[in-house]
Amino acid sequence: CCVAGQGKRSAAALNDLSTLSFQHIHKFLNETWQRRYQAELSSSMLTLLWSTIASIFSLGGLFGAHLGSLAAWAGEKGALLMNNFIAILAAILMGISFPAGLYELLIVGRFLIGMNTGNTQLCEAAPKHLRGAMVMGSSIFLTGGILTGQVIGLRELLGGEAYWHFLLSSSCFPAFIQLLTLPWFPESPRFLFIDQGDEMKCIKAMKRFHGPLNYQAEMEDIQKERFALGGEAAKKPWQLFTDRSIRWQLITIILLTMGQQLSGINAVIMYLRKLGSPEKTFLTWTLGTGACECLTALTCGLLIESMGRRVLILGGYSLMTLWCIVLTFSLTYQVYSWAPYLSMACIFAFILSFGLGPGGVTNTLTTELFTQSSRPAAYMIAGSVSWLSFFTIGMLFPFIVVGKLYCFIVFLLECCLVVIFISFVIPETKNKTFLEIKREFHKLNFGRSKEQEGELCERQHLSNEF
């Protein structure tokens, strides 16, 4: 669970620098250029260098998302261990960039920490009645890492001029902790049995996960999934687009991942930055949003197994639609004294609604909608769509915000469309095995009901036994 928090902690620290202490990096760039070329750094070149430092993180995340195939042959445990070395290397490069006077190291480090963040794997070893809560553990640590980065990024701590490079290199600490602790944990049982065919190691891992007396039910589910896959090898991302049996699962993940990034959650912070608020006020807002994300991730983790995925994500997007309407109304009447307070209340309510639904449930569905052979490739596709959407909103929002009063109407429409899609397409996945969830989508993919599919599977099973 801590790997997501580890990567995002670094991202949060860097984002704080870009919004609050960017002048330190600007000064570093100017001084380095002056010392190297004995000439002043032009404003256009400064903008280019700063834009490169800020945007290379997203490019690294996009590249890191395509490293998800590591889990197909190295396993989740092996992929996470290798991912930590990337984080440590990135931390070293960013940490020595300032004393070495090489801004190129900062750029490379930003790219590598983006790779580390993009190459995040989610839990597939949890039992079905706890799977949602366990996957939400990643989001809880993620938001906790973001809040930690925001706190230690304050000027009074590591956000000052003399310490900002230490802030960037602080991401090495959780990476070291995971390198020391993760080798003592078992590998994913599904990887051991379905991908490697090692039943003895799978049973040993299952006993460690579930106890020596409570692993049989989960073992039966894994055996059924392996039988259904029929020795099918791990698929490549492009093969998912031609596989009719997972067509609507793939459409669902792509649309939900795009919806998560384009819903306006990233635009909220960008909008606050555009307002030109005083630094102390912006600090309060930033820490407040970080605390809200932590609170909602924890709340979602507590509710996801009782209320279900569908209720939370549908309710989250519906509430976000409502807050977009109220926020647009409040922005229209900013001449009144109460309007700014209503706007801020809507922004925090929007963040709370996002965390209760789309913020955590989307990652859970990415894990649940695919079987073992398709899951690594699905991670890669979802990660690529997420980073491309993140980059897109960063590029387009400065143009959207020109119409300040009505800039959130775009996100209002997007949230409405996602609500409609969820209502008609996504079933409830709580307490269901991966094969049961696959059957839920069978009618959409082939036009048959799940009952007919079950009968076909049973006939095929009897035929194979005969």
**Residue 103 maps to a domain:** yes
On whether both 328 and 419 belong to a single domain, the answer is yes
The confidence score (pLDDT) of residue 271 equals 62
On whether both 312 and 175 belong to a single domain, the answer is no
Calculated CA dihedral for residues 172, 173, 174, 176, nearest 10 degrees: 80
On whether both 134 and 255 belong to a single domain, the answer is no
Inter-axis angle of helices 339-356 and 358-368, nearest 10 = 20
Domain range for residue 331? 235-431
**Residue 212 maps to a domain:** no
CA-nearest of 105, 121, 134 to 178 is 121
Residue carrying the six token digits 């020391």: 180
Contact 296, 319 (CB under 8 A): no
Neighbours of 42 (CB within 10 A): 10
The parts of the chain modelled with pLDDT lower than 70 are 1-22, 68-75, 119-128, 159, 231, 267, 269-285, 394-405, 448-466
Domain count, the chain: 2
On whether both 297 and 424 belong to a single domain, the answer is yes
**Residue 201 maps to a domain:** no
3-state secondary structure of 374: coil
| CATH number assigned to the domain comprising residue 352 | 1.20.1250.20
On whether both 261 and 147 belong to a single domain, the answer is no
On whether both 171 and 287 belong to a single domain, the answer is no
**Residue 408 maps to a domain:** yes
pLDDT digits (tens, 9 = 90+) for 154-197: 777 776 777 777 888 888 888 888 888 888 888 888 777 777 77
**Residue 225 maps to a domain:** no
On whether both 23 and 122 belong to a single domain, the answer is yes
On whether both 265 and 405 belong to a single domain, the answer is yes
HSE-CB at 358 with a 13 A cutoff on CA atoms is 31
**Residue 70 maps to a domain:** yes
On whether both 21 and 114 belong to a single domain, the answer is yes
On whether both 15 and 138 belong to a single domain, the answer is yes
Region of 336 on the Ramachandran plot (φ > 0 left; ψ -120 to 50 alpha; else beta) = beta
Q: What percentage of the chain reaches a pLDDT higher than 90?
A: 5
The confidence score (pLDDT) of residue 262 equals 82
3-state secondary structure of 369: coil
Calculated CA dihedral for residues 163, 14, 356, 140, nearest 10 degrees: -60
Residue carrying the six token digits 């490379």: 108
**Residue 465 maps to a domain:** no
The confidence score (pLDDT) of residue 251 equals 92
On whether both 175 and 242 belong to a single domain, the answer is no
**Residue 445 maps to a domain:** no
The confidence score (pLDDT) of residue 120 equals 62
The confidence score (pLDDT) of residue 317 equals 92
On whether both 325 and 398 belong to a single domain, the answer is yes
The confidence score (pLDDT) of residue 200 equals 87
Among candidate residues 185, 206, 225, the one where a domain is terminated = 185
Segment (H or E) for 234: none
Whole-number Å distance between alpha carbons of 21 and 164: 8
